Amino acid sequence: MKASARNQFTGTVSEVRIGAVNAEVHVGLKGGETIVASITKESAETLAIKTGMKVVALVKAPQIIIVTDFGGYRLSARNQLQGTVTQVKPGAVNAEVDIELKGGEQIAATVTNDSVEALGLSKGQAATAVFKAGAVILAVAG
């Protein structure tokens, strides 16, 4: 699939919870991580989302927040994927930070250069990619 979203994760739907307006879809990745997507009930029906089907979860890089130390806090964001920084590519204002998850998937985040400095981000550092379920777009073949 060609799309502007840098992060494209192929996975299998492990759970679907249909509500009055929205549906919550859990997508299992090959490394054991789960991405949770919040989509409209209508979208879930139109895409015929069902447990066991293959989907692609797309997340734009600017939607990713990088956390290196939770400081005892818990976040409401459903998606918190732990990994290791593999690359930091600074630009004029922003940097792209690539994080490898335990299953080998890469997740790219776009953050300010100030954030890279404040977090001391560098290759080999443990980091968690955090994003809300509403930031996930699901795609199906067909």
- Is 142 a residue whose pLDDT tops 90? no
**Tell me: the pLDDT tens digits for 56-70?**
999 999 999 999 999
Q: How many C-beta atoms lie closer than 10 Å to residue 45's C-beta? A: 11
Structural domains of the chain, with CATH: 7-59+132-139 (2.40.50.100), 61-131 (2.40.50.100)
Query: Which residues face 54 on adjacent strands?
Result: 12
- For residue 86 the two structure tokens come to 């593999």
Q: What φ, ψ does residue 20 adopt, rounded to 5°?
A: -70, -35
Range with the poorest average pLDDT among 2-6, 43-47, 66-70: 2-6
pLDDT at res. 15: 98
pLDDT at res. 2: 85
Average confidence (pLDDT) over 91-102: 96
- For residue 3 the two structure tokens come to 């799309």
By percentage, how much of the chain surpasses pLDDT 90?
94
b/e per residue 75-107 (b: at least 16 CB within 10 A): eeebbebebebeebeeeeebbbbbbbbeeebeb
Average confidence (pLDDT) over 83-109: 96
Average confidence (pLDDT) over 40-56: 97
